[in-house]
Amino acid sequence: MPKLFSYGTLQQENVQLATFGRTLAGQRDQLAGYVQTEVEISDPEVVAASGKTHHPILLFTGLPTDHVSGTVFDITDTELAQADEYEVDDYRRIAVTMASGTRAWVYVDARQDLSHDVA
C-alpha cells in the first residue's frame, strides 16, 4: 500500500472527501532537506476543492536543518492516481525517506531540478 506525505491541502478533510471520497488516517512525520513556500493555483476545480488560491509547495535545499512537518497517509494505488489528478502541473511526485524512516511519495516543486537529490 503506498504512503503519501502531505504538508498542505491534502491534509484538509474537505479536500480528502473531494479527491478520495473518504477521510484519510495518518501519522505525523517530518521531511528533512526541504522548505515550504507557496504557489498560486489557477485551476478552478482545485481552488474549489481546497478553498484556497495559494497552496504550499516544497523546495529542496539539501540542508538537514531545514524540515517540513506534515502527515503520512496510507492510501491505495487508485487514490495515489487520484492525488496525481488533484495536483496541478507545478507539482511533481517523488519518493522520499521521512524522518521516521518511512518511505513515502511527496509532491514537490516541478520547476526545480532534483537530479542531485537522492531519494
pLDDT of residue 116: 52
Domain ranges (residues) in the chain: 3-109
Q: What's the confidence (pLDDT) of residue 46?
A: 84
Buried/exposed 45-72: b ≥16 CB within 10 Å, e otherwise: ebbebbeeeebbbbbbeeeeebebebbb
Q: How far is Cα 55 from Cα 88, in angstroms, rounded to an integer?
A: 10
Written as tens digits, the pLDDT of the chain (119 aa) is 999 999 999 999 999 999 999 999 999 999 999 999 998 888 888 888 888 888 889 999 999 999 999 999 999 999 999 999 998 888 999 999 999 999 999 999 998 876 654 44
Distance CA 39, CA 91 (A): 10
Q: What are phi and psi of 45, to 5 degrees?
A: -70, -40
Instruction: Show the CA angle centred on residue 58, arms to residues 56 and 64, nearest 5°.
Output: 135
Superfamily of domain 3-109, CATH level 4: Gamma-glutamyl cyclotransferase-like (3.10.490.10)
